[in-house]
Amino acid sequence: MIKKLLCIATLSILSMPVAFAGGLLHNTNQHIDFVRMMARGASFDIDGVYTNPAGSVFNEHQGWTLSLNIQSAYQERDVNATFPLYMNPTHTKLYEGNASAPIIPSLYGVYHKDKLAVSGFLGVVGGGGKCSFDDGLPMFDAAVMAGVYGQTAALLNQYPALGAVFSGPVTPDQYDISTAMKGRQFIYGAQLGAAYRFLPWLSGYAGFRMDYFTGNYSGHVIATAGPELTGKVTQLAMAYPEMAQLLGSFAGPGGLASIKLDCDQTGWGITPIVGVDLKFGDLTLAAKYEFPTELNIENDTKQLEVSPAAFEGALNSFKDGVNTPNDLPSVFYFAAGYEFIPKKLRGTLEYHYYDDKHAEMAGDKQKALRHGTHEVLAGVEWDINERFTVSCGAQNTDYGLSDEYQSHTSFSCDSYSIGFGGAVNINENMKLNVGYFWTTYHDYTKDVPAGNPGYCGTTMAGKDVYSRSNKVFGVGLDYKF
């Protein structure tokens, strides 16, 4: 039972996602204009290739515009767990997870001629980086702790004479759990499409994006009895031969369990995209819709070692050649932009909806969401003069989370983000953008009562407080010719 719990917990640990921004599965911070203003759904600038592709034909520049953007994102994901078997006065332990994407590049290009604009985009549209848990996760520790405790308690109840060796059930201070897990996920997107101005105030867009998933999960889990426990179970195995096989699981050559994994994953899908832009003087109304994308990822497993081999089946999802669903949901964007002072001061209000609840995920966990993701954004931009521009904005995100959706390896927290920055027109053809935003997350508390099952599949009670932090800095260069 102990080894089975260990394998199941490890499987979940190695399934961790590392998304950073925009719904549960998307990254929307593709251009530095977004980083410094947030609400860019009514933009006619080069960043509109992603946020408002239909608006490309309303840009005054005729010819080519290119843009290169580099961002760095850093995130902390912590779980403050409370469980009766943590051996400290408060029975709590803080598990720290660190996720990073030091370089997130994106490249834009658009050619505008009269009523037609052809555009393209390359960037990281999902996933978003690497995540590591150097000290494991509570679901792993709790499963092993409760399993060892329950198993020895049952032995003491069945064989009262064991009380001469054990003063009580075995507690975590008598054995060691060593674990280190790392995950990496990136979804690269290549978008191509065209916008056409049908009327002086109306344009439309049609295009598609090819999404390529690449990921890796690697790590190990080793649980071993300490010298004192090993000596005790060896003594008991000699005194009670009928329990030798059961007791051997505590002190065998492989310890309680040993698991090693190195698995690469790849997959791809196509996202059709349509958009519309209506421009009435200083008012702009724009919308974009991304269709749902079926995305299955396939394993290329370089190492999968499980001891004892009898429990290898718990890691079947990571065997070589296995496919797992990782769909991208449909997304609807709507924005209203207004120039309060023409070519001087402008603002935008925006709404995003991600239909995450109907995007197939591993284990059908999307069904546990209360609703899809709702985002509301607002931003303002001010041209101080012909050379300098400043902007700021905010975004509020509601994921529709539930206790059933949240887990140690896949949790999200509702949040709001604030961004600011500016731009410098180096000359009439070149503009430098700089931006920074941070996200404040609302801690999510999940109380699990004692029962069957209880906390992490045990019969005991437990509590998790999930918390996150996120910071993004970026620099970009736009060039027109």
What tokens appear for 271 in the block? 């996202």
In terms of DSSP bridges, do strands 283-290 and 257-280 run parallel, antiparallel, or are they unpaired? antiparallel
Q: What stretches of 87-167 show up as alpha helix (H) in DSSP?
A: 138-158
> Mean pLDDT over all residues of the chain?
86
d(CA 350, CA 48) in angstroms, rounded, equals 14
Q: What is the pLDDT of residue 308?
A: 55
Give me the mean pLDDT over the 246-260 stretch: 59
What tokens appear for 338 in the block? 């207004």
What tokens appear for 69 in the block? 């953007």
Q: Is the preceding omega at residue 453 within 30 degrees of 0, hence cis?
A: yes
d(CA 414, CA 370) in angstroms, rounded, equals 13
Per DSSP, the three-state class of 342 is coil
Q: How confident is the model at residue 252 (pLDDT cuts 50, 70, 90)?
A: low
Residue 376 has pLDDT above 90, yes or no: yes
The 10s digit of each residue's pLDDT in 69-121 is 999 988 888 999 999 999 899 999 998 888 877 888 999 999 999 999 999 99
- Sorted by where each starts, the structural domains of the chain and their CATH numbers stand as 2-480 (2.40.160.60)
d(CA 93, CA 84) in angstroms, rounded, equals 11
d(CA 173, CA 32) in angstroms, rounded, equals 50
Contact status, residue 300 vs residue 263, Cβ threshold 8 Å: yes
Q: Which of 14, 241, 29 is nearest to 125 (CA)?
A: 29
DSSP assignment of 92-139: EEEEEEEEEEEEEEEEEEEEEETTEEEEEEEEEEEEEEEEEETT--HH
Per DSSP, the three-state class of 262 is strand
The 10s digit of each residue's pLDDT in 405-451 is 988 777 889 999 999 999 999 999 999 999 999 999 999 999 999 98
Q: Which of 174, 156, 279, 275 is nearest to 226 (CA)?
A: 174
- The dihedrals phi and psi of 59, each to the nearest 5 degrees, come to -70, 140
The 10s digit of each residue's pLDDT in 337-373 is 999 999 999 999 999 999 999 998 877 889 999 999 9
Judging by beta carbons within 10 Å of its beta carbon (0-12, 13-18, 19+), is residue 102 exposed, middle or buried? exposed
Q: How confident is the model at residue 398 (pLDDT cuts 50, 70, 90)?
A: very high
> Angle at the Cα of 20 (from 18 to 26), degrees rounded to 5?
95
DSSP structure class, residue 7: H
C-alpha radius of gyration, the chain, whole number: 27
d(CA 105, CA 474) in angstroms, rounded, equals 10
Contact status, residue 195 vs residue 116, Cβ threshold 8 Å: yes
Q: What stretches of 353-419 show up as alpha helix (H) in DSSP?
A: none
What number of H helices and E strands is found in the chain?
6, 17
DSSP assignment of 195-257: EEEEETTEEEEEEEEEEEEEEEEEEEEEEEE-HHHHHHHHHHHHH-GGGHHHHHHHHSTT-SE
d(CA 186, CA 240) in angstroms, rounded, equals 54
d(CA 385, CA 424) in angstroms, rounded, equals 10
Q: Which of 416, 25, 399, 398 is nearest to 186 (CA)?
A: 25
Q: What is the pLDDT of residue 174?
A: 78
Q: What is the pLDDT of residue 247?
A: 58
Please say whether the dihedral angle defined by the alpha carbons of residues 59, 60, 63 and 66, taken in this order, is positive or negative. negative
Q: What is the pLDDT of residue 245?
A: 56
- CB-based contacts of 188: which residues, under 8 Å, 6+ apart? 122, 123, 124, 125, 211, 212, 214
Q: Which of 116, 44, 43, 102 is nearest to 71 (CA)?
A: 102
- The dihedrals phi and psi of 171, each to the nearest 5 degrees, come to -105, 165
Amino acid at 77: R
Q: Which of 64, 66, 67, 68 is nearest to 111 (CA)?
A: 64
The 10s digit of each residue's pLDDT in 170-214 is 888 877 777 777 878 889 999 999 999 999 999 999 999 999 999
What tokens appear for 275 in the block? 């958009």
Residue 50 has pLDDT above 60, yes or no: yes
DSSP structure class, residue 330: P
- Determine which helix (DSSP H) or strand (DSSP E) holds 4, and give its type and residue range: helix 2-13
Amino acid at 123: G
